[in-house]
Amino acid sequence: MAFICNLLALTLIGFSVWTNSIPTEPVSTSNASDLGRGQKLFVAHCALCHGIGATGGRGPALNHPELRRAADDQALFRVIRNGIEETEMPGAWQLTDNEIKDVVEYVRSLGRNEVIKLQGDPARGKTYYEGKGSCGTCHIVDGRGGNLGPDLTNIGARRSAAYLREALVDPGASVPEEFLIVSIVTRDGNRIRGIRINEDSFTIQLRDSSGVFQSLRKSNISELKKEFNSSLMPGYRDSLNSSEIDDLVAFLAGLRGQR
């Protein structure tokens, strides 16, 4: 009996040691050294999409006190470690749990900075979106609009104001990969240009500017050009003045998927 009790005690001790060795999610105990390490890791692994200082770019701005997909430190930790399915956000498999914790602390520290108020008027911006800019022809907001371009329902949570302004005046400067423009000449002389929807070794599918889907076998194509710095979206540099663009940026920046 004593032998069994001793064996049970050793088993429980071993189980305790094993469970304590499992990485845990972060507890907020940051200091200047943690923030410095977090900043270096962020610049190396995150800034390409989220911008230096997390001001946004291809990925959303993270320098806000409230993050839509990460309500607390634990949620942010999981997003960094696991990524977000069906988005451009990959999991940080190359970082240790302690390194991810440092990145979490750094990102959270940015949310404590003063939020800069945009110059534009979002109410006027909405009128330009619906009228002069005709943005709803190609974009959806809250289920309404065309689907040739990206859904803008929560664009303000995903893109910085600087990114939005650039997209309005120079749409080809930073085109998402899923909206790559391709130009095709078929062997019988037809010319087709549109957004690539899918591509494999033998076929390519695209949607042209009128929204029509095309599927072609590559054996029937004589020329295929990928236009990495082009967009079907027109630039507003000449059709909207600077003040109007400020207003439209303010409206778009306020679209965060919340009704």
pLDDT digits (tens, 9 = 90+) for 102-153: 999 999 888 765 556 788 999 999 999 999 999 999 999 999 999 888 899 9
Question: Are residues 101 and 33 located together in one domain of the fold?
Answer: yes
Question: Are residues 191 and 154 located together in one domain of the fold?
Answer: no
Question: Are residues 163 and 103 located together in one domain of the fold?
Answer: no
Question: Are residues 75 and 96 located together in one domain of the fold?
Answer: yes
Count structural domains, the chain. 3
Question: Are residues 45 and 91 located together in one domain of the fold?
Answer: yes
Q: Which residue has the tokens 């800034």?
A: 47
Instruction: Give the residue numbers spanning the domain of 188.
Output: 181-227
In a domain, 21, yes or no: no
Whole-prediction pTM value? 0.60
Mean per-residue pLDDT, 20-39: 61
| Structural tokens at position 104 | 């979490």
Q: Are 148 and 207 a contacting pair, CB within 8 Å?
A: yes
Question: Are residues 104 and 189 located together in one domain of the fold?
Answer: no
- CATH number of the domain encompassing residue 206: 2.30.30.100
- CATH number of the domain encompassing residue 162: 1.10.760.10
Sheet holding 213-217, edge to edge: 213-217, 203-208, 191-199, 181-186, 221-227
pLDDT digits (tens, 9 = 90+) for 162-199: 889 999 999 988 787 788 999 999 999 999 999 999 99
Question: Are residues 223 and 240 located together in one domain of the fold?
Answer: no
In a domain, 134, yes or no: yes
Question: Are residues 159 and 240 located together in one domain of the fold?
Answer: yes
Question: Are residues 89 and 128 located together in one domain of the fold?
Answer: no
In a domain, 19, yes or no: no
Question: Are residues 63 and 157 located together in one domain of the fold?
Answer: no
Q: Which residue has the tokens 């305790």?
A: 16
Q: How many percent of the chain have pLDDT more than 90? A: 51
Question: Are residues 102 and 209 located together in one domain of the fold?
Answer: no
